[in-house]
Amino acid sequence: MNRLLQKTFLGATDGDISGTNVTDRMKLMSSTRTLIAAGSLAVMAATSAPSVQAREPFSDDVASRTQALALLETLNADLLSHPSATLTLERWCSDHALAGDAKILARRVKGEDKPLPDGDRATLGIGPGEPVKYRRVQLACGEHVLSEADNWYVPSRLTPEMNQILDSTDQPFGKVVQGLHFRRQTISADLLWSPLPKGWEMEAPLPPAGKGPLAIPHELLRHRAVLFTEGNQPFSLVVETYTAEVLAFGRR
By residue range, what is the domain housing residue 145? 62-247
C-alpha span between 8 and 27 (Å, rounded) = 10
Do residues 31 and 87 share a domain? no
The radius of gyration computed from the CA coordinates of the chain, to the nearest angstrom, equals 31
- The segments of the chain whose pLDDT lies below 70 read 1-54
pLDDT of 56 reads 86
pLDDT of 39 reads 40
Determine, yes or no, domain membership for 26: yes
pLDDT of 54 reads 52
pLDDT of 58 reads 93
pLDDT of 111 reads 79
Determine, yes or no, domain membership for 94: yes
Determine, yes or no, domain membership for 131: yes
Determine, yes or no, domain membership for 53: no
pLDDT of 25 reads 44
Q: How far is CA 91 from CA 6, 10, 160, in A?
A: 58, 61, 29
Domain count, the chain: 2
Do residues 122 and 27 share a domain? no
Do residues 40 and 140 share a domain? no
In which element (H, E) is residue 76 found? helix 62-80
CATH number at residue 149: 3.40.1410.10
pLDDT of 52 reads 32
Helices (H) and strands (E) in the chain, counts: 7, 6
pLDDT of 164 reads 97
Do residues 107 and 15 share a domain? no
Q: Which positions ≥6 away from 163 have C-beta within 8 Å?
A: 155
pLDDT of 251 reads 84
Do residues 169 and 90 share a domain? yes
pLDDT of 106 reads 86
